[in-house]
Amino acid sequence: MTNKHKSSYAISKQLLQRLPLYLNFLKNYADKDGYVSAPMIASAMRLNEVQVRKDLAAVSSTGGKPKTGFATEQLIRDIEKFLGYDNVDEAVIAGAGRLGSALLAYSRFSEYGLKILMGFESDEKLIGTEIAGKQILSIDKLPDVCKRLNIHIGIITVPAESAQEVCDKMIAGGIQAIWNFAPIHLNVPDHVLVQNQDMAASLAILSKHLREKLEKKEEV
Amino acid sequence: MTNKHKSSYAISKQLLQRLPLYLNFLKNYADKDGYVSAPMIASAMRLNEVQVRKDLAAVSSTGGKPKTGFATEQLIRDIEKFLGYDNVDEAVIAGAGRLGSALLAYSRFSEYGLKILMGFESDEKLIGTEIAGKQILSIDKLPDVCKRLNIHIGIITVPAESAQEVCDKMIAGGIQAIWNFAPIHLNVPDHVLVQNQDMAASLAILSKHLREKLEKKEEV
């Protein structure tokens, strides 16, 4: 996870449930000077002021200034970061066959600050095993795990016939960007990015270029 | 191999040695009417007419017409096809690690009429083994094997530090198109095509797009 809490304030389930409410308030808050204070929020949201102060201290990267309070935009970003809404560094794989395994074990993603956390499988023989130190879980757990860990990138290396089903599970889990190795067109909502990676087509393109080059040479 | 001989005429080593000579003659032959005959070739190349007739019958797809002979351009293409000069369907892989193995075992290349014939490795433990029924040979054999089998496509899945050396071996073996998974720029002669496939960069691009999308959403 990319989230690091800034204070020793216990991260309670209650805090995690309040944060989206703060977010909603802040985004609709027409501020005059770009600042917002704990007492203001407490009063507007009918919460205990001490609690709001502690909550904001736990998530704010700046801590806020006495009297002026917190810069609203920065506080919004801090809460989103805390909630993992901006997590674009972690991914999961569905399909732990040869290609999925190769990607799970691929070390170079870390050079870009990226990490594939775990794999998901429908094959009972693979569920519960580890590949390159990464757990392989049942595909049925994918939506829950992704939601819980705020993972937004999914990689599909399952066969074409189960790719759409897996894709739907990913979307149910809050995945917003899919790297698709299955050779089919995925139906996704507008807000989901899909990057297709058809390995066979890639080699076919190279082969086609080579053929064109050889034929051109023949004509000369 | 894509070569299929059209007659029962024995494919002798001598024939295979004569074919490039025919090719050379035909490519430099300024024909008046676009046709060439066995007696003409025999006379110009000081070869036995019967032998030339048999040679051309063995490789020609049309068989040639009495009196007019063979359409020159077609005969050139037939000889090149027979020699496998136009082979754009077969490839080899250098590097039989996880990614190389996944590609060796990948079944969908055949949907495009493509085939990865074998793998090459420097790791003694892997040399002599098979992956998905395909032999893993010593990397030192790559140039010879590619030349002998007229293979023009090479796939590089070795680590970056040995990729250029492997690339040079491929070029020495007549490889003209390289699918490069190693994260380095390969130095190749002008006539060699290179298609780079940096898996980490691909995921990084998707991650970047997602970040841009999330930031855009934040601004709204």
pLDDT tens for B124-168 read 999 999 999 999 999 999 999 999 899 999 999 999 999 999 999
> Residue B218's Cα: distance from chain center in Å?
51
Residue written as tokens 């000069």? Answer: B85
Q: CATH number of the domain at B90-204, out of 3.40.50.720, 2.40.50.1070, 3.40.718.10, 3.30.70.100?
A: 3.40.50.720
At B3, is the pLDDT very low, low, confident or very high (cuts 50, 70, 90)? very low
Residue B117 pLDDT exceeds 90: yes
Q: Are B80 and A218 a contacting pair at CB < 8 A?
A: yes
Rounded alpha-carbon distances, angstroms, from residue A180 to A85, A88, A100: 22, 17, 11
CA-atom Rg of chain A in angstroms: 23
Torsions phi, psi of B27, nearest 5? -70, -25
pLDDT at position A220 over 60: no
Q: Over the stretch A77-127, which tens digit does the pLDDT of each residue have?
A: 888 888 877 788 999 999 999 999 999 999 899 989 999 999 999 999 999
Q: For B14-43, what is the mean pLDDT?
A: 85
ipTM reported for the complex, 2 dp: 0.74
Residues 52-111 on B with a CB inside 8 Å of A are 76-77, 80, 85-86, 88-89, 91, 98-99, 101-103, 105-106, 108-109, 111
Residue A97's φ and ψ, nearest 5 degrees, are -75, -155
B64 falls in which pLDDT band (50, 70, 90)? confident
Mean pLDDT across B93-110 = 94
Please state the φ and ψ torsions of residue B179, each to the nearest 5 degrees. -100, 105
**Does an H or E element contain A177, and which?**
strand A177-180
The residue-averaged pLDDT of A149-164 equals: 95
* B69 φ/ψ sector (left φ>0, alpha ψ -120 to 50, else beta): left
Give tens-digit pLDDT for A19-46. Answer: 888 988 888 887 667 889 999 999 989 9
Measured between CB atoms, does B2 come within 8 Å of chain A?
no
Q: What is the pLDDT, as a whole number, of residue B218?
A: 55
- CA distance to partner chain A, nearest, from residue B132 (Å): 11
Residue-level pLDDT at B144: 95
Amino acid making up residue A131: I
Ranges A43-52, B7-16, B161-170, B187-196: which has the least confidence:
B7-16
pLDDT of B78 higher than 50: yes
Give the class (CATH, top level) of B13-82: mainly alpha
Distance of CA B88 to the CA centre of its chain: 5
Would the pLDDT of A185 be above 80? yes
Phi, psi of B38 (to 5 degrees): -60, -45
Strands B35-36 and B70-71: antiparallel
pLDDT value at residue A207:
93
Cβ(B84)–Cβ(B144) below 8 Å: no
Question: In this structure, are residues A142 and A91 in contact, taking their beta carbons and an 8 Å threshold?
Answer: no
Quote the tokens at residue B11: 């494919």
- Chain A, 176 to 215: residues with Cβ < 8 Å from chain B are 176-177, 179, 183, 191, 193, 195, 197, 199-211, 213-214
Three-state DSSP class for A184?
coil
Q: Which amino acid is located at A140 in the chain?
A: D
H or E stretch at A49: helix A49-59
User: What is the CA A119 to chain-centroid distance, rounded?
Assistant: 14
Q: Which of residues 154 through 183 in chain B touch A, CB cutoff 8 A?
A: 155, 176-177, 179, 183
Compute the mean pLDDT over every residue in chain A, rounded to the nearest whole number: 88
Q: From the candidates B86, B155, B207, B208, which should be mutated to test the interface with A, based on the most A CB atoms within 10 A?
A: B207
Any chain B CB within 8 A of the CB of A152?
Answer: yes
Answer whether B41's CB lies under 8 Å from B22's CB: yes
Q: Where are the domains of chain A?
A: 13-82, 90-204
Residue with tokens 């490519």: B27
B115 neighbors B108 (Cβ within 8 angstroms): no
| CA distance linking residue B69 with residue A13, whole number of Å | 88
Q: Cα separation of A39 and B10, whole Å?
A: 96
Half-sphere exposure of A55 (CA within 13 A, CB side): 26
The C-alpha atoms of residue B23 and residue B43 are separated, in whole angstroms, by: 15
